[in-house]
Amino acid sequence: MANASDRPRTREPGPQLSNMLGSAFREAQEQRLLHHVRSAPLPRHLAIIMDGNRRFAHDHGLLVELGHERGRDKLEELLNWCLEIGLRIMTVYALSTENFQRDPAELDPLMDLFARSFEEIAIDPRVHRNQIRVQAFGNRGILPERVVRAIEHAEAATRGYDRYLYNVAIAYGGREEIVRAIRALATEVQEGTLRPEEITQEMVSSHLYTAEMPDPDLVLRTSGEERISNFLLWQAAYAELYFADVMWPGLTKLDFLRAIRDFQNRRRRYGT
């Protein structure tokens, strides 16, 4: 009888082969999902809470600053994915008003990253080739001048485009946005051009940052947290919510397509 040591051994696939097989499998999944996503109605407006840069950095032994850099790189990828499927309107939550309570040692490099990113958007051939209009909304009064200048440059460079709309919510808070709309309506009442009983939901919507676009159909949040964190509170009243258990820089194309496909498979209801 042969000893176990004498029997032919089946070689386990090495790490490189395993990675290749895993990559091929993921690519096949992506292509299958991509086919299904393209064959069904897309969200008109996708809103994204990009959460998890700092935790991603911590988990991978990186400086927080590098976590934000990876998050910016992921946003570049996301734009390509949206263009690939033809998703026309995207709004991303880049920085909340509450985030200004963070340590200046984190905020200063982050502001430099924002300024650099908006300047790059203004000259990005992909933006101009696809006629993407770039807009930023929020309280610009609390942003550094260098960031405001870069925002204005990107907006001016893309103002004439209307094929795609890419919104960045920066120094933004949903409650503050609603208060801003109320103040504008109160001023009209005070001036006698509007009576309180004439105020409608449509009027409130027309005084929000998103006045010229449809409300988001889908709100996607990364990091596994299941809340909307003061983001588009009025506009997201009937949006579908999708929570991905992955940090923002770790989001994959497969994760993105799964979120879109999940939306397409839902039966939307308005009300309870």
Task: Look up 19 and say whether it is catalytic.
Answer: no
53 is a catalytic site residue = no
Q: Are 33 and 261 in contact (CB under 8 A)?
A: yes
Catalytic residue among 3, 19, 53, 99: 99
Q: Which residue is it, tokens 């950095």? A: 57
Of these residues, 51, 53, 167, 217, which one is catalytic? 51
Residue ranges of the alpha helices (H) in the chain?
15-38, 53-59, 64-85, 104-123, 125-129, 145-158, 174-190, 201-206, 253-264
> Quick one: 168 exposed, middle or buried, by C-beta within 10 A (0-12, 13-18, 19+)?
buried
What H or E segment, with its residue span, contains residue 164?
strand 164-172
Listing DSSP states for 72-107 in one string gives HHHHHHHHHHHHHHT--EEEEEEEESGGGGS-HHHH
- Which residue carries 């992955």 as its tokens? 246
Active site residues: 51, 99
